[in-house]
Structure 1
Amino acid sequence: MTEIRTPRLILRRWHDDDLAPMAEINADPQVMHWVDDGSVRDLDDTAEAIERWEEEWDEEGFGLFAVELLASGELAGFTGLSVPEFLPEVMPAVAISWRFGSSFWGQGYASEAAQATLEFALQDRGLDRVISISRAGDDASENIIRKLGMVPVLQTEHPVYGLPLSVHAIDLTEFEA
């Protein structure tokens, strides 16, 4: 079982009791504003997503981690790695992403989890490059991307929604743990 501990967080595989709190995060319009077309997701959508995330772990040896607060055991959201097949022009690639409940914003949790995930990708999983894809105007994500040391490599559009996307990348040779 893959688990990463940071000073304040546990990044781990998904448990059955994560479904309700993750569905609550996915149902928040404020959280989902920058995700795809901004649509919220319900309990069934979230269950299907967690199932896909777990399948990716089994198939790829990486995936999206459930992020739990060490102090309280609360599920704060997710961070992790996925293959961004929806965006063919970046393939082959592995992308880092995150989504946290709004009550966990502004406390550095996403940056802490993303940094640990990037180290996992480049040092543990042996990837030589990781990308991040964000919607243009998502300043909070852009801030995390900068903290990770990623640099812009491509401006494109979401193939389904036509929304502007920014792709950033970091290579193993540029990474400083």
Structure 2
Amino acid sequence: MPTYHAKPPDAQTERLDLNRPNSDDLHELFAICSDPRVWSHFPSLRHTDLGQTASMLDRWIDNWHSNGLGTWVARAKGEPSIIGYGGCGMLSTAVWNLGYRFAAHAHGQGYATELAQEALRHAEHVAPRSSRCRLPPRAQQGI
């Protein structure tokens, strides 16, 4: 059973509560990151051990501290379980990198579009002159 702290979301969309990640999210994130169905288009990025997810989570938390914006964990509004993650993280080149990933059961419901739009709004607010996002061509199909 996931650990869920009923704290207000840091951001919301019509259907998603978005929170800064924390160490309590590790196991739910690993479940998404290790699921082959989630990585069918890019299997080499699938996590095969918890340490990979822990390192990713540490980078996300550092990004929030350094840039005031980063990757959120996403939950369906009012629900305790993480269904995905995404947001804008600053690259060393001062360009926002937009990324997202959702659990297989959440695919095809428009969550990525909602999250991406909210992330772009926040990036424009945090660093207006850096609000270009780099999105790999294969990812552009999803939003």
Normalised TM-score (structure 1): 0.67
The correspondence of residues 58-73 of structure 1 with structure 2, limited to 5 A, is: 58-73=65-80
Question: Which of 16, 27, 42 is the matching residue for 1:20?
Answer: 27
Task: Indicate the structure (1 or 2) with the bigger Cα radius of gyration.
Answer: 1
| Identical counterparts, % of pairs | 27
User: Structure 1 residues 63 and 2, CA, compared in 2 at 3 Å: closer, same or farther?
Assistant: farther
Per the TM alignment, residue 2 of structure 1 is displaced from its structure 2 partner at its CA by: 7.5
Q: Is the 8 A contact 1:8 1:71 kept in 2?
A: no
Equivalence for 2:114: 112
Structure 1, unaligned runs of 5 or more: 86-90, 146-177
Q: Does 1:121 align with 2:119?
A: no
Q: Is the 8 A contact 1:32 1:40 kept in 2?
A: yes
Equivalence for 1:56: 63
CA distance in 1, matches of 2:53, 2:35: 12
Which digits, 9 at most, give the CA deviation of each residue in 1:4-32, with x for residues without a partner? 11111111111333111110111112322
CA distance in 2, matches of 1:56, 1:92: 12
Per the TM alignment, residue 114 of structure 1 is displaced from its structure 2 partner at its CA by: 0.8
| Higher strand proportion (structure 1 or 2) | 1
Normalised TM-score (structure 2): 0.82
Runs of 4+ in 1 over 6 A off after TM superposition: none
1:142 corresponds to which letter in structure 2?
Q
1:13 corresponds to which letter in structure 2?
R
CA distance in 1, matches of 2:84, 2:9: 17
RMSD: 2.1
Count of paired positions: 134
Which deviates more, 49-58 or 6-15?
6-15
Structure 2, unaligned runs of 5 or more: 1-7
